[in-house]
Amino acid sequence: MVVDRAVIDAIVAHARATAPAECCGLLLGRAGEVLASRPTRNAAEEPTRRFLIDPKDHVDGRREARARGLEVIGFYHSHPNGAAEPSVTDLAEATYPDHLYAIASLAGTSPELKLFRLHDGRFRACAYRTS
């Protein structure tokens, strides 16, 4: 998997701007490439504990992706005070098999971003390199 460096920078900036709430958004690209991110509103009742991509933003993001010749290939969110690892809630609420899930952590001295793929009801770490 290749992730554009600007995507990582944009996700981290979004995470910093919304902390202590969790940020969330869409990953846009093609098979094997994350080329863009699209921030969405966190519609969760407790945005400091979980995320819920605003449904209108989700639909608008899919339209934007198509207009750019891309697809929504995954989602991202942040863990402002936790590790860049899926939580029990993340797994329970993940509903798009074979999509990517990026998690940005702000808990350490420098931000960390990890990528996972939901497959057979489990998150599996997904190696990536930046372009």
d(CA 84, CA 111): 9
Question: Phi and psi of 78, rounded to 5°?
Answer: -115, 155
Phi, psi for 19 (deg, rounded to 5): -60, 140
Please say whether the beta carbons of 10 and 130 come within 8 A: no
CB 35 within 8 A of CB 6: no
DSSP string of 44-60? -SSTTT---B-HHHHHH
Enumerate the active-site residues. 22
